[in-house]
Chains A and B, each alone.
Chain A
Amino acid sequence: MAFTNHSNLFAAVHENGINATIGQLMRQRPSLFNYATLIFTQALSTKFCQPITPPPGGGPLFTVEPQLPVLGAPRPLGLDWCLQLSNVSIDLHPGNTLTLPPELGPPLGPQHFALHLRACFGLACPDDVTVENLAAEMEALVAANVLRAAAPAAPPTPTDGQPVPSANVICSCLDVFGVGHFEWGAVAGFPGQFLKTRLDNLEIVDLVTNPPSNLEDMLECYLRTVLRLGVLPRLIVPMQNLVLDITRMLQNNGTAIGQHVSVVPAPVSAGVPNNPAVENDQLKVFFNLKVQ
């Protein structure tokens, strides 16, 4: 059976291609997958939970984030931390490369994809001596405020807070699984249809409290929100980019045309029951040609 029996154009990407692309992305732009405070460029550069290979084209190893504030401290203090995402992979239906946790109801449902990643959080935990020294400083500040006594001159306060020095990064890694699907949709302010990635459910493995508490739910909620608002919106793909922009191709070949040739999703029909479709380990999209 031909690929284009029910549409003008057909495009498919195999999960191997998606995972190879993710691998290239992690290799060449690690700052999308690694987040840490500035100190990790210097004193803590060897203290990441997982070492980061410098990208071949240069560029930052991670995205710099503010410190974790020490709540209630009389002057701003912050703890250093890092969050690293690794082992990101996708499994398109039928699921055969990822083993979903029971909470996500395996096996993977038709027209869905499974997502796995490993999230490692590292906290630069100050030792007791450092904390004791800083505690004395804090006490003096509190006393100065409360007793209105002359406090010792404090160093200039950085806007980000003074880091609490530490050479000890405690790491904890969790495996995260998710399931989702793809759909066409519009983006406000932009013409045309975009291929969007939707996350349906997420599960953190091995984070179990006894008795069950809301801790896991809270963390999962946070990660789900990060993925939905921080990661997946970056993955929308304008349809024109998926196959080819015929108008631009003709223009590049010296034939400027007065009409605009574009592609639109083929309507769902008996021949194309799902568009986009996730099947045979592939993400498939079907288009028709439109001349305006």
Chain B
Amino acid sequence: MMADLTIAVSEAVFAKTLEVVVANFGFDVSGGGDFGDFGARYDGRLVLKGGSLELRDDGTIRLRELDARWDKLELTLGVRLSDTSLGGGPVDLPGGGTIHLPGVTLFSRDPGVVFTVELAPFVKHELSLVGSPLIQHFEPGVTPIGKHCQDLHTALKIDDTTPQWRIFCDPQTIDFDLFDFADTVGDLFEQAFTDALDKLLPPGLLHDLILKAIGSVADLLRTLLDIPDDLSEWLSDLFNVSLGVFNLILQFVADFFGTCISFYQLDDPFPMLPKTKETTTETTVELPAVTVPIQNLSAIVNDVELVVTADIGGVS
């Protein structure tokens, strides 16, 4: 028995739509927090690159290697350290005599160390997922919505008061590569500090002394921040709980590919003719909307197209 309505969407449409979304998507993020001995701020803009969509014979849609790149991702860390004095005191000269070198006091300001690194070139994310269309008939007050999802609906002004057919992309596998935070940030920290020192002081004894101290300070920082072994875990935790960057990313994934935000929705009954007023010379008559019930909505994927079928309910 043929369905009353059939709509087929080819793989090319998915590919083109992804292309348009990738070309137009941009998300600005900024924020920060103070955590006692240290503070952190971030400021960035997330864009998408690449990616491809493939319809598969097993009824799934595969998104491959959608890259999320940061046009800008500035991470500023500030750490409060106790004063540290280096050098100073008398030094005997080979030809006789003594000079007094001045001492250097580091980290006397509050916070002791503040540095900003541009992480954009080093921070790259990649998303691959396999999902299948999931159809839900949403009944207000009956169909359960989780609190997080409800909050998201409120924020996105999604109407949950109307019965709807909702089509989700139900993710079956998600592969989301963050990046190697530990090596990237650790190296950047030392490099940034060394570069700053190179600009401030010419090579020499004092330079070497401070450079040596930097190693100690770096160790001290790593100890303070508990980052020597798993910097990425710490940053992920920090961002996830306090800064929200990973929340943003994961939320983005959940919004578009989860079961909270449908990528297509159809009011049921579907409004065929809107509510209107018809005015004659004598009266104005209000005509209610004409709606048609949508039944048996289904979606099937094969390696060529997505086919959506539905029936129209008759007059009972």
Contact partner, A289, options B12, B256, B273, B314, Cβ 8 Å: B12
A7 CA / B291 CA spacing, docked (Å): 30
Q: Are A16 and B4 in contact (CB under 8 A)?
A: yes
Residues of chain B contacted by A64 (CB below 8 angstroms): 280, 282-283
Query: What is the size, in residues, of chain B's interface with A at 8 Å between Cβ atoms?
Result: 48
Q: Are A27 and B8 in contact (CB under 8 A)?
A: no
Q: Are A28 and B290 in contact (CB under 8 A)?
A: yes
Residues of chain A contacted by B291 (CB below 8 angstroms): 24, 28
8 extra interface residue pairs, beta carbon distance < 8 Å, beyond A24-B314, A29-B288, A59-B288: A8-B12, A9-B13, A10-B8, A16-B312, A24-B313, A31-B278, A57-B289, A64-B282
Query: What is the size, in residues, of chain A's interface with B at 8 Å between Cβ atoms?
Result: 49
Q: Are B288 and A55 in contact (CB under 8 A)?
A: yes
A257 CA / B255 CA spacing, docked (Å): 17
Known: A2-B304, A20-B4, A291-B16. A8 touches B288 (CB 8 A): no
A291 CA / B3 CA spacing, docked (Å): 30
Q: Describe B's contact surface by its main secondary structure.
A: mixed
Residues of chain B contacted by A23 (CB below 8 angstroms): 314-315
Residues of chain A contacted by B255 (CB below 8 angstroms): 254
Q: Are A250 and B10 in contact (CB under 8 A)?
A: no
Interface-facing stretch out of A73-81, A105-113, A124-132, A241-249: A241-249
Q: Are A24 and B10 in contact (CB under 8 A)?
A: no
Nearest-neighbour CB distance to chain B for A292, whole angstroms, equals 11
Q: Are A261 and B17 in contact (CB under 8 A)?
A: yes
Binding site for B on A (CB under 8 A): 2-5, 7-14, 16-17, 20-21, 23-29, 31, 55, 57-60, 63-64, 243-244, 246, 249-250, 253-259, 261, 280-282, 289, 291
Residues of chain B contacted by A255 (CB below 8 angstroms): 21, 24-25
Known: A4-B304, A21-B312, A29-B290. A11 touches B17 (CB 8 A): no
Contact partner, A291, options B10, B20, B312, B313, Cβ 8 Å: B20
